Amino acid sequence: MLTHVILHRLTSFKRLSSRYLRMTSETGKAKPAVTERAGRGGPGPVIPVKNPIFAGMKRIFRVFLVSVLLVAGSAACHAQRTGVREEVRADWNKSAGLDCLYDCSPQAATPAPKGYEPVYLTHYGRHGSRYAYTSRTYTELLDMLEAGAKDGNLTDDGAALREVLGAFWETAQYRVGDLTPKGWEQHRWIAGTMVRSFPSAFRKGSRVDACASTSIRSILSMGACCLTLAQLCPDIEIYEHQGLLDVQVTAPNMGRNPFRYEGSVPPLPWQETAEEFFLRTFPEYTRVLARLFKDPEAALGDRSPFMVFFHLYMLVAGMESLPDDVRIDVGGIFEPEEFATMWEVDNFERFREYYPYQTACAAIVDDMVAKAEERLAAGSRGADLRFGHDHCLMTLLMLMDIDGAGHVPDTPDDLVYWFQTFRSPMATNLQLVFYTPKRGRGGDILVKLLLNGGEARFGDLVPAAGPYYRWADLKAYLKARTDLFVTNRPARP
């Protein structure tokens, strides 16, 4: 694709060159151009330009060269991500992967092309911060500590952690999977950012339709978002709903979906299991257990080391999502290097788990396209919001090849450069923002992609300008991507 774009730029350059030379030969002179500034950004010395034809050609070539470099740079910047392991080691929050907290810092925004305004958003969002979704995250280690206490197998640190974790479990056992206050506030903040960033999409008479998966934390996340929209925009219409029909567009890979798409994904080029990857990547895992148990092997017994560490990692990673009066300090279980290694193991496991979901999750993409077409045809402003889970959000990144996430590397060790779970923090949201020409103007419908508020890219699709894509091009691109994995689309009433 990059080659095609560069060839297109070359053709354009040749055409401009020919046009310029033809103009100078017909008129006998070029437009006046007597001086040229040297350097970049400042006035610099004035350099005489003796040949106006060459001066014009230099300008054309400079524009051409910058254009080619921007295209090449764009392809490089929005594909493989380098230095990921170093990035994760340096940032405990990113090491938490899917449990990392949402970044509420301001994001850079490229202004819309002149004469355009945002009119509509289509969205998929993950629920906000929560307690662990399975009780085993809390009980796996606690059971081992209780057994260690009976057997006299605890170190001093292990004995201390047993007391703290036991008291924590007395409260947490009734909150497994629940949305936390932090998760509620995350979605209120995101809703406020939508309104502030795209006020013309939420003006009087706009309509918001919101649906959620069957999960209570997703329903409450939807409520937090819509409540804030209603408070900030009292003149818009908001409808929230949840039902079996909504499963197809919020969690289509779940077993209760009667309209699941049919198809398949290509086999991965490597067959290593997550457990094999863990044992190969972190063979010295017993040193972590040695901080808590005098005999780590005895503490493990017949338990799977991989499953023990899977839950141990989630215990530590998810603690920052909890209320201050509930959260306990478990950060000392892992050293930063070990925690980063466990992130890579979990990153590998999640990719293998989510990769086949691309067939089912194509239904979300189809719904985004269909709803957008309806809205644009009717001239309806507002938003269509869907609230679900990380396994769908990360699958959408792969399916739409957002910032290179759809690339499957030749070896599992290179996966971190393309797929990173920390790109789906708690309350992750994917937004397609639609821009139309202002009243009385003509032009294409444009779309900008936002991931957690930051501008993102669709694979090798060439934007019309900056991060803005032509809707006609994007529709064709999304259809081609979903067709790779879908052979049958059962109709939904």
Whole-number Å distance between alpha carbons of 368 and 389: 17
Is residue 291 classed exposed, middle or buried when 0-12, 13-18 and 19+ CB atoms within 10 A define those classes? middle
pLDDT (tens digit per residue) in 397-440: 999 999 999 999 999 999 999 999 999 999 999 999 999 999 87
Whole-number Å distance between alpha carbons of 221 and 218: 5
Residues near 3 by beta carbon (within 8 Å), at least 6 away in sequence: none
pLDDT at 10: 37
Contact 57, 20 (CB under 8 A): yes
pLDDT (tens digit per residue) in 201-253: 999 999 999 999 999 999 999 999 999 999 999 999 999 999 999 999 999 99
Instruction: Please give the mean pLDDT across all residues of the chain.
Output: 87
Out of 69-78, 317-326, 333-342, 430-439, pick the least confident: 69-78
Whole-number Å distance between alpha carbons of 413 and 113: 41
Task: Give the pLDDT band of residue 55 (cuts 50, 70, 90).
Answer: very low
**Statement: residue 360 has pLDDT above 80:** yes
**Statement: residue 9 has pLDDT above 60:** no
Contact 421, 350 (CB under 8 A): yes
The second-level CATH assignment, the architecture, of 110-131+179-266+354-483 is 3-Layer(aba) Sandwich (3.40)
**Statement: residue 43 has pLDDT above 60:** no
**Ramachandran region of residue 28, left (φ > 0), alpha (ψ -120 to 50) or beta?**
left
pLDDT at 11: 37
Backbone phi and psi for residue 198, each to the nearest 5 degrees, phi listed first: -135, 60
Q: Spell out the domain ranges in the chain.
A: 2-77, 110-131+179-266+354-483, 136-176+268-351
Cα–Cα distances (Å) from 130 to 97, 229, 327, 354, in that order, read 14, 22, 12, 21
246 or 63: which carries more pLDDT confidence? 246
Pairing type for strands 207-212 and 237-241 reads: parallel
Give the single-character DSSP code of 262.
B
pLDDT at 492: 84
Tokens for 34?
A: 């007597």
